[in-house]
Amino acid sequence: MGTQPAKPSLWHGIARETIPWFPTVNRDKCIGCELVLVHEAKL
């Protein structure tokens, strides 16, 4: 009896490997408020 390969972990039914887990800024919508910097500093 061998071990089974680990199944990919899912997040709400989506494979975690396919999700870009970093914030992105849409420069066309950015108003320069720097709120993303404040939010990321709390993580």
Phi, psi dihedrals of residue 15, rounded to the nearest 5°: -60, 125
pLDDT at 25 over 60: yes
pLDDT at 21 over 60: yes
pLDDT at 13 over 90: yes
Question: Percentage of the chain with pLDDT > 90?
Answer: 26
Residues 16, 24 contacting (CB under 8 angstroms)? no
pLDDT at 27 over 80: yes
Structure tokens at 38: 């404040």
Phi, psi dihedrals of residue 10, rounded to the nearest 5°: -110, 150
Q: How far apart are CA 20 and CA 22, in angstroms?
A: 6
